[in-house]
Amino acid sequence: MQNKKSRVFSGIQPTGNIHLGNYLGAIKNWVDRQDHYENIFCVVNSHAITIPQDPKILKEKTFELSAMLLACGIDPKKSTLFIQSQVQEHTSLAWLLTCITPMGDLNRMTQFKDKSQKNPKSILSGLFNYPNLMSADILLYQSDFVPVGEDQKQHIELARDTALRFNRDFGETFVIPKPLIMQEGARIMGLDDPSKKMSKSSGDKPNHLIALIDTPEEILKKFKKATTDSQNLITFDKERLGVYNLLTIYQCFTQKSQKTIEEEFKGEGYGKLKSKIAEVVIESLRPIRESYNYLITQKDYLEKILAEGAKSAREIAQKTYQDAKEKMGLI
Ligand code: AQP
């Protein structure tokens, strides 16, 4: 008999343009391991509204992101792909989990602190409660693993604690999930300021991120302007944030070892390093951009894939939610 595959769940918000951090920290790993796992991937649009969104743009971005995930290689034959708001059990389970999660646990979340600092005059309670919705996303599918970038580790630890608490208080209900974080690419930094993670919400800064839909000219220009230092020494030195970040991006795309890369650039200057990285990134992203440009025109196909995805997701989610609801005594 064949061994049952472990199940992975992960999500991504339809806010801004998908960038190299999202790709190397999350999407590329989802795609590369599709055959190893039973995969469930979700466009988490209900998470997006924890920060005010223009409704029309949010709808457009939701379809754009779905098309981009397919363009990156998510294969609907191997993976379930759906939109979070089309499976209502996500928000329903989030309420049950909100009712068993202490405020103190949410208060510790660094992402809440970071994001609320960006807009201190209007901190919404949805932003504070967001980790409960993320716990619900993961626990609904009885997920074994959650492949994410380093920034999401704390939220997954919270989901684990919540699942353990629920199981302890109401009886065995949820699988305890584990984060799956890659060694390389788990934290890609901004090209303009390598002390801050590359982030969609900083996308208005001209040289902060490389979007997967950027043209070759834009990619080259942004790498040329990337912040480095005055040492002109090309080594994987974690203290020199800018050069380390560029070399990490190069390593993720080429899959070469650090030693081989350092040999390759021995005696070279930062100009050569930047143009070589730009070349590799441009060629790697070219088929993705081309496929995206086609898929985004195929609205009927996209809607069909997403409807099928929501249907299979619902089958699992309804079962888990009913069980949790009954265990808590809700009629
Ligand atoms: N810089 C990064 N390096 C590596 N991985 C990253 N991820 C995000 N930024 C980096 C990973 O991408 C996945 C999807 O992210 P998301 O859109 O759901 O959440 P996010 O962390 O809020 O993404 P951004 O780009 O940083 O957006 P904003 O600006 O809205 O905060 C996750 O697995 C995440 O770890």
Q: For residues 317 and 273, state if they share a domain.
A: no
Q: Is residue 15 part of a domain?
A: yes
Average pLDDT over the chain reads 96
Same structural domain for residues 150 and 228? no
* 3-state SS, residue 312: helix
Which pLDDT value is given to residue 115? 87
Check residue 183 and give its pLDDT: 85
Put residue 267 in one of left, alpha, beta given phi > 0 → left and psi -120 to 50 → alpha.
left
Ligand 1 center to residue 23 CA distance, Å?
Answer: 9
Q: Exposure of 73 by Cβ count < 10 A (0-12 exposed, 13-18 middle, 19+ buried)?
A: middle
CATH value at residue 159: 3.40.50.620
* Residues assigned a catalytic role: 115, 197, 200
Q: Which residues surround ligand 1 with Cβ inside 6 Å?
A: 11-13, 15, 21-22, 25-26, 148-149, 151-152, 186-188, 197-201
Q: Assess if residue 198 is contained within a domain.
A: no
Our CA angle for 170, 147, 228, nearest 5°, is 135
Rounded to the nearest angstrom, the distance between the alpha carbon of 13 and the centre of ligand 1 is 8
Q: Is residue 232 part of a domain?
A: yes
322 and 175 in a single domain? The answer is yes
pLDDT confidence of residue 184: 86
Check if the beta carbon of residue 66 is closer than 8 Å to that of residue 302.
yes
Determine how many CB atoms are found less than 10 A away from the CB of residue 32. 12
- Output the CA–CA distances (angstroms, integers) from residue 84 to 23, 45, 58, 73, 314, in the order listed: 20, 6, 13, 20, 10
| 149 labeled part of a ligand binding site | yes
Same domain, 289 and 303: no
Residue 235 sits in a domain of what CATH number?
Answer: 1.10.240.10
Q: How far is CA 125 from the centre of its chain?
A: 22
- Do 286 and 319 fall within a single domain? no
Whether 23 is covered by a domain: the verdict is yes
Evaluate whether residue 254 is within a structural domain: yes
Q: Determine if residue 284 is labeled as part of a ligand binding site.
A: no
Chain-centroid distance of CA 71 in Å reads 16
151, 157, 202, 252: which to mutate for ligand 1, most atoms within 8 A of CB?
151
Same-domain check for residues 133 and 276: no
> Splitting the chain (331 residues) into consecutive groups of 10 residues, what average pLDDT does each group show?
86 95 96 97 97 95 98 98 98 98 95 87 91 98 96 96 98 97 92 95 88 97 96 94 97 96 96 97 97 97 98 98 98 95
Token duo for residue 10: 């992960």
Same domain membership, residue 226 and residue 105: no
227 labelled binding-site residue = no
| Alpha helices by DSSP H, the chain | 20-22, 28-32, 45-48, 55-72, 89-98, 103-107, 110-118, 125-140, 153-170, 216-224, 241-254, 258-264, 270-295, 299-327
Q: Does residue 311 share a domain with residue 285?
A: no
Distance 94 CA to ligand 1 centre (A): 21
The CA 271 to ligand 1 mean position distance, Å, reads 28
> Per-residue DSSP letters for 235-277?
S--TTSHHHHHHHHHHHHHH---HHHHHHHTTT--HHHHHHHH
CA distances for 241 relative to 23, 152, 279, 294, angstroms? 20, 21, 21, 37
The alpha carbon of residue 6 and the mean position of all alpha carbons in its chain are separated, in whole angstroms, by 20
Q: Give how many domains the chain has, as a whole number.
A: 2
Residue given tokens 């002109």 in the structure block: 232
User: Contact, 156 vs 125, CB < 8 A?
Assistant: no
Same domain as 156, residue 269: no
Residue 14 lies in a domain: yes
Tell which one of 18, 22, 246 to mutate to probe ligand 1, the residue whose CB is within 8 A of the most ligand atoms.
22
Q: Are residues 304 and 278 in the same domain?
A: no
Over its C-alpha atoms, the chain yields an Rg (Å, rounded) of 21
Which residues are bridge partners to 197 per DSSP? 189
Q: Is residue 270 part of a domain?
A: yes
152 & 264 share domain: no
Ligand 1 atom nearest residue 198's Cα: 1
Give the residue numbers spanning the domain of 245.
216-293
Is residue 78 in some structural domain? Answer: yes
Amino acid identity, residue 284? S
Annotated binding residue at 320? no
